[in-house]
Amino acid sequence: MPYLFTSESVSEGHPDKVADQISDALIDYFLAYDPNSKVACETLVTTGQVVLAGEVKSEAYLDVQDIAREVIRKIGYTKSEYMFEANSCGILSAIHEQSPDINQGVERKKKEDQGAGDQGMMFGYATNETDNYMPLPLDLAHALLREMAAIRREGKVMTYLRPDAKSQVTIEYSDDNKPQRIDTIVVSTQHDDFAKDSVMLKQIKEDVINIVVPRIKKKLPKRVQNLFGADINYHVNPTGKFVIGGPHGDTGLTGRKIIVDTYGGKGAHGGGAFSGKDPSKVDRSAAYATRHIAKNLVAAGVCDEVLVQVAYAIGVAQPVGLYVNTYGTAKVGQSDGEIAKRVAKIFDMRPYFIEQRFSLRTPIYAETAAYGHMGREPKVVEKIFNKGKKSEKKVKVELFPWEKLDFVDTVKKAFKIA
């Protein structure tokens, strides 16, 4: 029997995502000036206030207030009527030195013996239902908000848009788990005040349907475009007026949107957030590594869908376990347990080797903090830190390296796939 599956996304202006972006900007700055930095940084944002807290071991000295303001400005909180504005908000820093008790479990005489920064389990997932091997409902939910952010910055249409927004997409699947149609699209966007609420609601709904959705469809493969039927249920700003938003409307915290960051509820999640953590924290680095494994397995033709779990003990380099679930879609004549054993031989999951495989001690994290850490396009860019200052630094980095399909040939050879 057909079934419905739903995923949500939130915009870069959502208060939790504001917090994530500030935390990850701090990570990037620390790594740009000291690649050996150990950082766990949390951010809280509310009306007119930012609070930074966490533990750091680094040779770098940063103007954390300036970095936070730069992030807030870039997101678009630049007007006093938002009640949270880059130049005027108060910023309190309570960042202190990392506990030596934690650090001793990570650093070793031999780099390859580097222990996991914490215990826990991390999951990676991939499916062949989209070109980027992501679940379609989440992929579309992200696309809606990325397009609305682009429209807001262009300033030509929908000029009433403010930074805070949420989306949700429901897809109908067939019995064999193939997307059949888009059932429901939900969009809630912060906006300027209108003279009449009835005019506002009508205008925003029409613009989402007639401006945002067509712009997204043009960028999608034909098979996905065909899922946009005339019978989609649209709920646009269903609660009505949404003028008060962002950190003024709701307090934001780092790490509260972990399902948005990953797979939209598909697969599984170990519970650990990513943003604000340097790569010695396996919550982050091993989640990227398991996504890389899952994506390369599906791309190589081992299976149509897969969930990969890895688990660690704090201070121990070797994982305590590696688990694979192909949901019955394996094509290689092996059980999931046999596939897992072979995967463990292909991919070295010790923390040091994960860091080396993806160059994780480079400043690549600010870009991950909105619209998902997975399913993004790997690319090389030059980033500038402290632009225009004496301490200005330019760094060339590769973003989203865990999304590369660089192990497909190795996987095919290991599983004897032609």
Under a CB-based contact definition with an 8 Å cutoff, are residues 274 and 284 in contact?
Answer: yes
Residue 321's H or E segment, with its range, is strand 321-325
> Annotated binding residue at 165?
yes
Split into its structural domains, the chain has a count of 3
Q: How many CA atoms lie within 13 A of 70 on its CB side?
A: 15
Cα separation, 267 vs 245, whole angstroms: 31
- Do 224 and 267 fall within a single domain? no
Residues 160 and 226 in one domain: yes
| Helical residues (DSSP H) of 166-281, grouped into ranges | 197-207, 213-218, 222-225, 246-249, 258-261
Q: Is 250 annotated as a binding residue?
A: yes
- Residue 62's domain comprises 16-99
- Please tell me whether residues 141 and 163 are part of one structural domain: yes
Is there a single domain that holds both residue 362 and residue 231? Answer: no
The answer to whether 202 touches 285, Cβ cutoff 8 Å, is no
d(CA 124, CA 268): 8
pTM: 0.96
Q: Domain containing 397 — which CATH number?
A: 3.30.300.10
Spatial contact of 409 and 385, defined as CB atoms under 8 Å apart: no
Q: How far apart are CA 34 and CA 238, in angstroms?
A: 47
Whether residues 240 and 162 fall in one domain:
yes
Q: Alpha-carbon dihedral of residues 61, 62, 65, 68, nearest 10 degrees?
A: -150
| Cβ-contact 147, 212 below 8 angstroms | yes
Q: 176 with 273, same domain?
A: no
Residues 390 and 288 in one domain: yes
Confidence of residue 104 (pLDDT cuts 50, 70, 90): low
Distance from CA of residue 389 to its chain's centroid? 30
Do 205 and 226 share a domain, yes or no? yes
Contact yes or no for 309/268 (Cβ under 8 A): yes
- pLDDT band, residue 99 (cuts 50/70/90): low
Annotation-wise, does 273 bind a ligand? yes
User: Tens digits of per-residue pLDDT, 335-374?
Assistant: 999 999 999 999 999 999 999 999 999 999 999 999 999 9
164 is in an annotated binding site: yes
Contact 349, 338 (CB under 8 A): no
Q: Has 98 been labeled as part of a binding site?
A: yes
Task: Give kind and range of the element (H or E) at residue 19.
Answer: helix 15-33
In a domain? residue 109: no
Residue 47 lies in a domain: yes
Residue 113 lies in a domain: no
241 is in an annotated binding site: yes
In a domain, 192, yes or no: yes
Task: Name the DSSP class of 372.
Answer: -
Q: Any known ligand binding at 277?
A: yes
The Cα 98–Cα 119 span in angstroms is 17
251 lies in some domain: no
- pLDDT bin (cut points 50, 70, 90) of residue 232 is very high
Instruction: Report pLDDT for 120.
Output: 95
Q: Which helix (H) or strand (E) holds 185?
A: strand 179-191
CA dihedral 218, 18, 6, 225 (to 10 degrees): 0
Chain segment 25-63, per-residue pLDDT in tens: 999 999 999 999 999 999 999 999 999 999 999 999 999
Is residue 111 one of the residues assigned to a domain? no
Q: Does residue 204 sit in the same domain as residue 314? A: no
- 200 and 268 within one domain: no
The answer to whether 257 is annotated as binding is yes
The pair of three-digit structure tokens given for residue 170, joined into one six-digit string: 């429901």
